[in-house]
Chains A and B, each alone.
Chain A
Amino acid sequence: MRLLFPTVLLAALGLLAFPQISDAAIPQEPEVEYSEEEYGDAEQELADARLQMELSHLRMAAMLTDHNYSMISAEAEVSSSRAALQAFVDYEAELESEMMALEIEHTRDGVSDAQEELAQLTSMYERNDLADATAQVVLERAARSIERQKTQLAISQKTFQAWTAFGKAYQQQELGHSVSLAQANLEATMANQELDRAELEAEIAELAKTIKELEAELSEAAETITETEG
């Protein structure tokens, strides 16, 4: 209020000192006269801007739907990877160890079975007069089977040892990485979505402003044309 009073006072003094200054002396925008052709172009420009606005609204709707899907996916990935890690810690690692131990038992039995098979085949061929070559083929085949079973047993034991020493920790680490990556992915998704939405909103606002200006300009042009004709 202390500032308003001197300002108004000074303005009043100014008017008193320079009473001859008319409205015409105040700088104004030059009047534009529009032709029919120019009016048509302005109309087209406004129609294009409105169409662009409509498209931007559609893009916004599609983007929001896509964002929703991405968010659900990213959140599910985080949830799943956490559950996988938890399951591994809670029971899967132990179960895997037990399965490997069972596999070793199977392969150990396989060696015993193959040895038993060879013994029975040997007995069968000893008790029956069959071609020596056939007996040799079959018995050697059975002997090779024993060797394969022994190799299988060694591989099973080695797999179990490697799992216990390295594989278990490695797998747990991998699962932990999966959780971190999923979390980071979720955060990146959220940030990108926010950016996309802001950019599109700004574009829509700009378009709205343009349309408003074009409408005003068009209205003014219409008036000019009417006066000229009059």
Chain B
Amino acid sequence: MIGLLVLAATCCAAQNPATEEAHTKVSAAVTEYRAQADRVIDGGLEYLIATQSRNGSWSSWQEPMIYDRHWSNPETHLAWQYAVTGLVCLSLMEVEDHPRAAAALNGGLDFLTAAPLIKRVSDWDTDNTWAYVYGLAALAKAAKDPRFNNGMRKVAIEVRGRKLLAQLNSYQSPNGGWGYYDDEATTSPPQWGTSFMTGVAVLALLDAKELGWKMSDKVLPAAIAAIEHCRLPDGSYTYSVRPIPIQDAGIGIDQVRGSLSRIQVCNWALYQAGKAGFETSIGMAELRSGLALLFQEHHYLDIARGRPYPHEAYHYNSGYFYFFGHYYAGFALAELGSAGAEDFYGALQHEIGKTQSKDGSMIDFFMNSYGKPYGTAYGIGALLEANKVFTP
């Protein structure tokens, strides 16, 4: 890989010595960043492998933090546990030649296929949708993975995957999006939709569609239209799918500074939808500008990370925005190609690597025992994706 970069730099040098010097320096930096990223990934993997539960899942209602009491109920925790396990599996599927990680992945997939169905949590709490989107994302990806294309596990993955697809579709709001609360009307399907959860759902649905899993022809177009509807002129996305999307002024959340993570998942979902044949407004240039915004305004996520109350930081950023946004930034970055990715790779590696604890975990929000596994899975997942662009 380094050889290719050096070769590319050498080719350019014939035309512009200054460019050659700069490119060689960047490439050397990438080499160093890549080594650091690999160490972060290794540490994160060790943490995830060490903390997997006996039943194959990750995280639970145990270890409640100070603000975790009061509102959640057992089904909420089952939904979160299922979602976190799906997310960890998504990242572990990107790991190759690592027997212990593979074993952990098998255990995780077995949990996802065998766990009881997650039901609506309560009248107003529909956090079960997190289980559906990340469960479907993981199983659809596994269904496309050659390592799981035979035997009982293949059957189990497809059966549960199709079930999750049906559950997810039944929770699509009339506005085309998905949300995780229904406290205004308590209806079925719920009324609320968010841009970012819809982004996660679209990515999973595109995989399911590719697999030929049955879904209504209306689901994906409506979801894609919902995300497009949320896109604002400054490149950000509104938090909720609103009838009239308005860009916030001042301290509001619906602007770039409050949308840094939503930009990444929504851009990536629309870009992937475009590649799948849907008409969207996001191309390579928008992926790049979205990444640029993330790192230009990154301090807003830094300030929010670790804050104990949701949305307590400037522009209503929450601690849990941090790794969510970086995860999808890793996908967008890899799509830019090696030359384009160089501009952001070092920053991505730094912003993720700096958060790693000695035990290999990463955390952005205190939330029972879910914070570290999901943070770590997002963190190493972002780096695993970003590394692909520099992998021969």
Contact = CB atoms under 8 A, between A and B. Distances in A.
Interface string B244-286: 0000000000000000000000000000000000000000000
A130 B306 CA distance: 6
B152 interface: no
Return the 6 tightest CB-CB contacts between A and B, nearest first: A130-B306, A129-B357, A134-B306, A120-B66, A128-B363, A124-B366
A125 B306 contact: yes
Contact of A138 (B306, B358, B361, B363): B306
B306 A131 contact: yes
B65 A124 contact: yes
Given A130-B306, A138-B307, A124 B355 contact: no
B330 to A, nearest CB: 21
Interface in B288-306: 302-303, 305-306
Interface of B: 65-66, 302-303, 305-308, 355-358, 361, 363, 366, 372
Contacts of B366: 124, 128
Contacts of B65: 120, 124
Contacts of A124: 65-66, 308, 366
A135 interface: yes
A121 interface: yes
A138 B355 contact: no
Interface in A87-142: 117, 120-121, 124-125, 128-131, 134-135, 138
A225 B192 CA distance: 98
A contact patch SS: helix
Interface residues of A, number: 12
Contact of B358 (A125, A129, A134): A129
Interface of A: 117, 120-121, 124-125, 128-131, 134-135, 138
B305 A130 contact: yes
A175 to B, nearest CB: 42
Nearest to B358: A129
A129 B307 contact: no
A4 to B, nearest CB: 105
B375 to A, nearest CB: 10
A135 B366 CA distance: 12
A129 B357 CA distance: 5
A134 B303 CA distance: 7
Contacts of B355: 129-130
A149 to B, nearest CB: 16
Contact of B356 (A129, A131, A135): A129
Contact of B66 (A117, A129, A131, A135): A117
A16 B38 CA distance: 159
A33 to B, nearest CB: 94
22 contacts: A117-B66, A120-B65, A121-B66, A121-B308, A124-B308, A124-B366, A125-B306, A128-B306, A128-B366, A129-B355, A129-B357, A129-B358, A130-B306, A130-B355, A130-B363, A131-B302, A131-B305, A131-B306, A134-B307, A135-B306, A138-B306, A138-B307
Interface centre among B303, B306, B366, by most chain A C-beta atoms within 10 angstroms, is B306
B354 to A, nearest CB: 9
A46 B68 CA distance: 92
Given A120-B66, A124-B366, A128-B363, A134 B305 contact: yes
A196 B372 CA distance: 86
Contacts of B308: 121, 124, 138
